[in-house]
Amino acid sequence: MKNTFGIALSITLFGESHGTAIGAVLDGIAPGIKIDEEYIEEKLAQRKPKGKISTKRREPDKSEIVSGVFNGYTTGSPLCIVIKNQDTKSKDYEEVARLARPSHADFTAFCKYEGFEDYRGGGHFSGRITAALVASGAILMKALENKGIYIGTHIKNCHGVCDQNFDKYRDDIEALNSLEFPVLNQDAAQKMKDEILKAASEGDSVGGILETAVIGVPAGVGEPWFDTFEGMLSHGIFSVPAVKGIEFGAGFDMAYMKGSEANDAMRYKDGEIVTETNNNGGINGGISNGMPIIFRTAIKPTPSIFKSQQTIDFKNKENATLNLKGRHDPAIIHRARAVVDAITAFTVADLLTARFGTDFLKE
């Protein structure tokens, strides 16, 4: 099982949903980056379950840095973060251990790991592991902010209820990062919550679309072929559980445009090169062009639902009916934004390090 991602920087995830702990190792990180523990906790809080629209599993998610930091700064050696699991109820999974939960990794994990995988709560495939990703991503996100690079994500669409578009990027990103439920229009936020609560009352779940903006990335970052800015971001984003699609700028809508409509006209403004539109999402030829990097991520409905589902018993090789118990989210999209922000921060930091060198992220 390979669990490492990155080129100049690398991140390795470890742990299981119901194991002793989960964690991450960051390698290749520059020395001299200040660690803001309060900022890390703020990002972890964005991922935590919230009220009736989330799972009843309540983990304290207290992160502990066990290596790579001394006197409040990174040392340049591998940085390891550990988060202990405390609120586990493994018995909820014993009765369905041999049943494949539809749209989960139970069957594929069994095929790959031949029954040695930890099935409790999804084991290493669980969204629980993303807490470690958020904690490590927060270190890089803070370092990027110190370089004038900011990342923000909002729920663009939740089961058909839409939020407004980004307008003033810096202000919108700052507002989103202060919200538990990341929506720019608060009327839309309540309607989204109502959709989630309705699904929960029916034993069902909903998905949606996240939209992310990254501002302050200089032009010239990324590679023209296999390590394009879009390609590396897509690689990272598709590692997030429940992601089923990604598009940049105008995305698939470009298929309905003419070149005269899709092209981003270029101008000088106050001595800076800008584009009048941003249909390409801040990237041309796989390389950043200095405009805001914009992309949208499709999040599927949470597969763990409380409706009776047809499935298979893959150990006894027979058809079966699944009736789940336990604690599950009726939607994860509001929690997933913190994860998308974290993997975006890591990918951007990795690409910048590859372009400008390890010391780029130092204060």
pLDDT of residue 157: 98
Q: What is the pLDDT of residues 48-106, one digit of tens each?
A: 988 889 877 778 889 999 999 999 999 999 999 999 998 766 666 666 778 898 998 88
pLDDT of residue 44: 96
Say which range, 52-61, 110-119, 164-173, 205-214, has the weakest mean pLDDT.
52-61
For the record, the structure tokens of 161 come out as 């209820």
Q: What is the pLDDT of residues 133-179, one digit of tens each?
A: 999 999 999 999 999 999 999 999 999 999 999 999 999 999 999 99
Angle between helices 229-237 and 333-356 (to 10 degrees): 140
d(CA 222, CA 185): 33
Of the candidates 38, 290, 67, 47, the residue with the CA atom closest to the CA atom of residue 142:
38
Question: What is the sign of the dihedral through the CA atoms of 212, 218, 223 and 224?
Answer: positive
pLDDT at 347 over 70: yes
pLDDT at 17 over 90: no
The pair phi, psi for residue 120, each rounded to 5°, is -65, 115
**What pairing do the DSSP bridges indicate for beta strands 10-15 and 4-5?**
antiparallel
Chain center to CA of 197:
23
pLDDT of residue 91: 64
Of the candidates 298, 301, 302, 318, the residue with the CA atom closest to the CA atom of residue 310:
318
Per cent of the chain over pLDDT 70 is: 97
Q: Is 9 helix (H, G, I), strand (E, B) or coil?
A: coil
d(CA 247, CA 279): 11
Give the DSSP H/E element, type plus range, for residue 46: helix 37-47
Of the candidates 229, 41, 69, 45, the residue with the CA atom closest to the CA atom of residue 142:
41
d(CA 301, CA 159): 9
pLDDT of residue 116: 87
For 148: left if phi > 0, alpha if psi spans -120 to 50, otherwise beta; the answer is left
pLDDT of residue 296: 98
pLDDT of residue 94: 67
Q: What is the pLDDT of residues 176-198, one digit of tens each?
A: 999 999 999 999 999 999 999 99
pLDDT of residue 308: 93
Say which range, 111-115, 135-139, 306-310, has the weakest mean pLDDT.
111-115
For the record, the structure tokens of 213 come out as 């903006």
Of the candidates 315, 332, 346, the residue with the CA atom closest to the CA atom of residue 139:
346
d(CA 48, CA 193): 16
The answer to whether residues 326 and 303 touch, using CB atoms and an 8 Å cutoff, is no
The answer to whether residues 134 and 44 touch, using CB atoms and an 8 Å cutoff, is yes
Structural domains for the chain: 4-358 (3.60.150.10)
Say which range, 53-57, 206-210, 268-272, has the weakest mean pLDDT.
53-57
For the record, the structure tokens of 236 come out as 């990272």
pLDDT at 218 over 90: yes
